[in-house]
Amino acid sequence: MWRSSRFIVISGFGGLLVLMTFAGVDAMRLLRGIQRRNEVIRQDFLNRNRVLNQIRSDVYLSGTYVRDYILEPEPQNAVKHRTSLEKTRRDMDAALRSYSVMLSADETQPYQTLQQELAEYWKVLEPALQWDVEQRRRKGYEFLRDEVLPRRMAMLSIADQIAAVNERQLNSGSTQVASLFTQFQLRLASTVFVTLGLGLALAGFSARKILRLERESIQARSELQELSARLVEAQETERRSISRELHDEVGQSLSALLVGLSNLSAAIPPSAGAELKPHVEGIRRLAEDSVRVVRNITLLLRPSMLDDLGLVPALQWQAREVSKRTGMQVDIAVENVSDELPEQYKTCVYRVVQEALNNCARHAAANTVRIIARQGREHLMLSIQDDGGGFRPDLHRGLGLLGMEERVTHLGGTFELDSEPGRGTLIAISLPLELPNT
C-alpha cells in the first residue's frame, strides 16, 4: 500500500510537472508561430507594394518616353527614346510576371484587367513606333492626347485598385493574427485548467494520505504509551511480590534462625562452650548480615511502608533515607494527603519522588530539596524543588524524567518541569482524583 501511494504521489507530481512544461513550451511555440505569421504578412504586403509601385512608375515612365519619342524632331534622339521605352516595357513585363507569382484570389480580376489594358496599350503604341518624322509631327499631339494619356490613367487606376486589395489583405492578415491569438488564449486556458484540476486532485490525495498517516502515528503513539504503562505496572507488581516474598519468607526465616541460634548457644554445655560458641557466633553474625541484606533489597525494590502504612510515611522514610545517605537536607511538607489513596497514585507519587531525589543527589548537587504534597478536592498536587545546578530541559531530558512524565500522564495528570542552569529545578505534578461516582 505504501509503495502504491508513493507511486501515485511521484507520478502525480511528475505528471503535473510534465504538463506544466508542455503547456509552457506549447504556448511559446504558438506565440512564435503568430509572430512569424505576422512577419510573413507584413513582408508579403511590402513586396507587393514594391512591385506595384514599380509597375506604376514604369507606366509613368513609358508615357514619358512615348511623348519624348513622338515629339522628338531629331531621328537619332527619337531612336534613343524608343530604346528606353522598350526597356521600360521589358521591366514592366518582368514586374508583372513577378507579381503574378504572389497573386491572391481577390487580385486576379484587377490584375487580369491590368494585363489586358497593358496589352491594349502596347498594341496601340506599336504602329506609332514605326512612324517617320513627318507622321509624328502631324498626328503626334492627337495621338498622345487621345490614346496614350487616357490609357495611362486607366492603368494607373487599376494599379491603385490592386494596391487597395493589397491593403485589404494586410488588414485581413491582422484579423487572422487576432483569431490566432484567441485560439492561443483558449488553448492556454484549457491547459491551465487541466493542470489546476490535476494539481487539486493530487493535493487532495496527498492531504488525505498525510492525515491518515498522522492518525496512524497518533494511534501508534498511544499504543506505545499504553504498552509502556503496562510495562511499568508489571514491573511494579513484580517488585512488590519479590519484595514481599523476600521479607515474609526469607527475612522471617532468618529471624527464626537467629532465635534458634540464641537457644542453641544457651544449650551448649559449659564443657563444650569454648569450642562451639565461636562457631555459633560466626553463624549468628552471618545470619544477621543476611537479615540486613534482605531488608535493604526489600526496601530498594519496594518499601513495604508504601503498602503497610501508606504514601506519607513512605515519602518521609524516603526523605530521611536520602538525607542520611547523601547529606542533602530533604524537607517534606504534607497537607491533607489521605492514607487511602488508590494503589496507582501511591506508586506514581512515590516513584516520581524517588526519581527526583535520585536526580537531585546524582546530577544537581543540591543542598536542599523541598517536597510538598497536597491533596485538594479534585487533585493531588506534588512539587519537588531543589537548589542544585539546574539544567536545560530542552537539551537534556533523560529516561528518568521521561519515565516520571509517562507515569503521570498515564493517570491523566499533568507534569511540569522548570529548570535553568544555575537556578535549580522544580518538578510539579497534578493528578486528578477520581470522583466517587465514576
Partner 1 sequence: MNSIRILLADDHVVMRSGLRVLLERQGGFQVVAEAGDGRQAIELAETHSPDVAVIDIAMPNLNGIEATRHITTKRPDTAVVILSMHSDESYVLRALKSGARGYLLKDSPEADLINAIRAVHDGKAFFSPAISKMMVEDYMRQLQQRGVEDSYELLTAREREVLQLLAEGKSNKETATILNLSLYTVETHRSNILQKLNLHGTPELILYAVRKGVIS
> Residue numbers of the site for partner 1 (CB under 8 A)?
247-248, 251-260, 262-263, 266, 287-288, 291-292, 295, 304-305, 308-309, 313-314, 316-317, 320, 323-324, 327, 329
328-363 b/e with 16+ CB inside 10 Å = b? bebebebeebeeebeebbbbbbbbbbbbbbebbbeb
Q: Across-strand partners of 374?
A: 335, 381
- Residue 230 CB neighbour total at 10 angstroms: 11
Q: What share of the chain is helix, strand, coil (3-state, %, to 5)?
A: 80, 10, 15
Give the nearer residue to partner 1 in terms of CB position, either 45 or 317: 317
Q: How far is the CB of 334 from partner 1 (least distance, A)?
A: 12
Q: Which of 273, 283, 59, 78 lies closest to 154 in space, CA to CA?
A: 59
Give the nearer residue to partner 1 in terms of CB position, either 218 or 259: 259
Give the nearer residue to partner 1 in terms of CB position, either 119 or 256: 256
**Which H/E stretch holds residue 245?**
helix 149-245
Q: How far is the CB of 300 from partner 1 (least distance, A)?
A: 14
Q: How far is the CB of 332 from partner 1 (least distance, A)?
A: 12
Q: How far is the CB of 253 from partner 1 (least distance, A)?
A: 7
Measured distance CA(194)–CA(20) in Å, rounded: 10
Q: Give CA separation, 19 vs 9, 30, 182, 191, 239, in Å.
A: 15, 16, 21, 8, 66
Which region holds residue 424: left if phi is over 0, alpha if psi is between -120 and 50, else beta?
Answer: left
Q: In the chain, how many H helices and how many E strands?
A: 11, 5
Q: Give CA separation, 159 vs 62, 111, 112, in Å.
A: 15, 8, 11
Which region holds residue 341: left if phi is over 0, alpha if psi is between -120 and 50, else beta?
Answer: beta
Give the nearer residue to partner 1 in terms of CB position, either 5 or 323: 323
Contacts 24+ apart (CB under 8 A), 360-366: 360/328, 360/384, 360/386, 360/388, 360/425, 361/322, 361/325, 361/326, 361/328, 363/388, 363/389, 363/391, 364/388, 364/389, 364/390, 364/391, 364/424, 364/425, 365/389, 366/328, 366/424
Q: How far is the CB of 419 from partner 1 (least distance, A)?
A: 23
Q: How far is the CB of 357 from partner 1 (least distance, A)?
A: 15
Give the nearer residue to partner 1 in terms of CB position, either 41 or 294: 294
Give the nearer residue to partner 1 in terms of CB position, either 26 or 288: 288
**C-alpha neighbours within 13 Å on the C-beta side of residue 237:** 6
Contact 219, 37 (CB under 8 A): no
Give the nearer residue to partner 1 in terms of CB position, either 346 or 407: 346
Give the nearer residue to partner 1 in terms of CB position, either 171 or 338: 338
Q: How far is the CB of 224 from partner 1 (least distance, A)?
A: 37
Local structure of 338: helix, strand or coil: coil
Give the nearer residue to partner 1 in terms of CB position, either 57 or 329: 329
Give the nearer residue to partner 1 in terms of CB position, either 79 or 256: 256
Measured distance CA(162)–CA(111) in Å, rounded: 7
Give the nearer residue to partner 1 in terms of CB position, either 260 or 376: 260
Q: How far is the CB of 246 from partner 1 (least distance, A)?
A: 10
Q: How far is the CB of 309 from partner 1 (least distance, A)?
A: 5
φ, ψ for residue 365, nearest 5 deg: 50, 50
Measured distance CA(212)–CA(86) in Å, rounded: 93
Q: How far is the CB of 207 from partner 1 (least distance, A)?
A: 59
Q: How far is the CB of 285 from partner 1 (least distance, A)?
A: 11
